[in-house]
Amino acid sequence: MSIAEVHDMTVTRRPLVPPTPPRAPDDMTAFGRMRAMGKSPIEAWGRRAYEEDIVQGRFLRHSSFILNTPDAIRHVLVDNYENYTRTPAGIRVLRPMLGEGLLISEGRAWKYQRRTLAPAFTPRAVTTLVPYMVTATDETITKLKAASGGPVDLREAMQRMTLEIAGRTMFSFGMDRHGAALRDFVMEYGETLARPSMLDLVLPLGWPTPHDFRRARFRKRWTAFVGQLMAERRAAGKDAGAPARDLFDLMGDARDPETGEAFTDAQLGDQVATMILAGHETTATALFWALYLLALDPATQEQLAAEVNGVAAAGTLDIEQLKFTRAVIDETMRLYPPAFLIARAAAGPDTITGHPVRKHDVILIAPWLLHRHEKLWRDPNAFMPQRFLTGTPPDRFAYLPFGVGARVCIGAHFALVEATLALAKLIGAFRVALTDKEPVLPVGVVTTQPNRSPMFAITPR
């Protein structure tokens, strides 16, 4: 079937509306909402959060604001971004894994790290890492082919694949020896310590909570593990003057353009941990939801496969040509943004589009809500990749899977190349379907996780 035929077939049918969790009642008590926030914020938001411009509430002694208008978001993330820092709860939860790395540093320390790291993430630098992405994806496809007779867990396969890509792009070596331990660390942390307890939300940062003692013990084991990976990479060596082989070389060679300073060993370790963790689970989540949506929507899946066939026929899989595949990734991250919530705390008083804000007030910019907001999208809950191909592109303050402004995701280009390439290769190799009809619902725990891992049937094309 040609791309045009598949396209004709799909434009006339009703779009898929994937299942979503029920919305919380708008009159939930403050205590009930806080409990729900700790479990999964996605389940704590009611109708107003999807329909109104700004929803003001209370968060302990402070006000909280959910921002749903591009103007308000531009104000916080661009115009006056220095007044808005990571929240104490966010720092408490992330610091044991990310240390003082780029994601949770602030002020001068952040500026120095950001300008030092920027050259390692330019499109040019990412191009040198693409062969690692291709090899790891091809290996995943070979393994999946061998397992294609029975049900397969594509969520786990995507986690393994993106971890492999994170490991190889970082260190040039495969994750066969360390992947299992790394996965265990991530799972252990995600299942317990990454979920803020009530005390984590209530106590100021300087006051340790019972979870914090466990987090400190975890950090000791985790930094030792990262140190071991770095030592192994160093032992593999690099010829003086040779071009950088991987992100470890790129970040190790990086110098502050203003002072010429390099990262210390501890700083480099925190960047390594940050990039591996910020990069692999988010991309695995995006790929999982894309495969889930395509399994629910076979016509769109065939349209994507037809595009891949057409592009592959011309030789290599040129990402620039994979426009529909990219639109599927964009639309997947609209419906299931891996980073479902961007939270900030006000460092000082301010006014956001007429709303007075006081020091310590909490600002919530939730891609989950924004991307499904009734005022910002037509058919907000429907899966329609075409919306990214035709008409005007969405407002960059209404569609922000990678955030926006000074703290926009440094790995956005890396992630888009990886996800587009992997999805094209996977759907080019297999037809995917679900083996059961039970809905899969999103849960917000650091990223937008599925509430269960559904089994897929995959048929080689």
Asked whether the beta carbons of 402 and 409 are under 8 A apart, the reply is yes
CA-CA distances (angstroms) from residue 155 to 174, 356, 372, 429, 456? Answer: 20, 43, 24, 17, 9
Residues 6+ positions from 96 with CB-CB distance below 8 Å? 189, 193, 215, 216, 218, 219, 222
Sole binder of ligand HEM in the list 402, 420, 421, 429 (CB under 6 A): 402
Which residue carries 């110098």 as its tokens?
255
* Minimum distance from residue 398 beta carbon to ligand HEM (Å): 14
Q: Which of residues 341-360 bind ligand HEM (CB under 6 A)?
A: 342
Which of 278, 294, 327, 429 forms a contact with ligand HEM (CB under 6 A)? 278
Q: Which is nearer to ligand HEM, 5 or 253 (CB)?
A: 253
Pair type for strands 442-445 and 447-450: antiparallel
Write out the binding residues for ligand HEM, residues 324-343 only, by CB under 6 A: 338-339, 342
In this structure, the dihedral spanned by the alpha carbons of residues 243, 246, 250 and 253, taken in order and rounded to 10 degrees, is -60
Using CB under 6 A as the binding rule, whether residue 279 contacts ligand HEM is answered as yes
CB count in 10 Å sphere of residue 119:
16
Closest distance of CB 407 from ligand HEM, Å? 4
Shortest separation between residue 403's beta carbon and ligand HEM, angstroms: 3
**Binding status of residue 94 toward ligand HEM by CB under 6 A:** no
Query: Does position 409 bind ligand HEM by CB under 6 A?
Result: yes
Give the x/- contact pattern for ligand HEM in 281-320, rule: CB under 6 A. -xx--x----------------------------------
Of 23, 114, 183, 431, the residue at the interface with ligand HEM (CB under 6 A) is 114
Contact status: 401 vs ligand HEM (CB under 6 A): yes
Q: Which residue is nearest to ligand HEM (CB)?
A: 411
Q: CA-CA-CA-CA torsion for 447, 139, 142, 325, nearest 10 degrees? A: 50
**Distance, first Cα to last Cα, the chain:** 13
Alpha-carbon distance of 290 to 312, in angstroms, equals 21
Number of residues that bind ligand HEM (CB under 6 A): 22
Smallest Cα–Cα separation from 427: which of 450, 457, 453, 461? 461
- Shortest CB 173 distance to ligand HEM, Å: 17
Residues interacting with ligand HEM, by CB under 6 A?
A: 102-103, 114, 274-275, 278-279, 282-283, 286, 338-339, 342, 401-403, 407, 409-411, 414-415
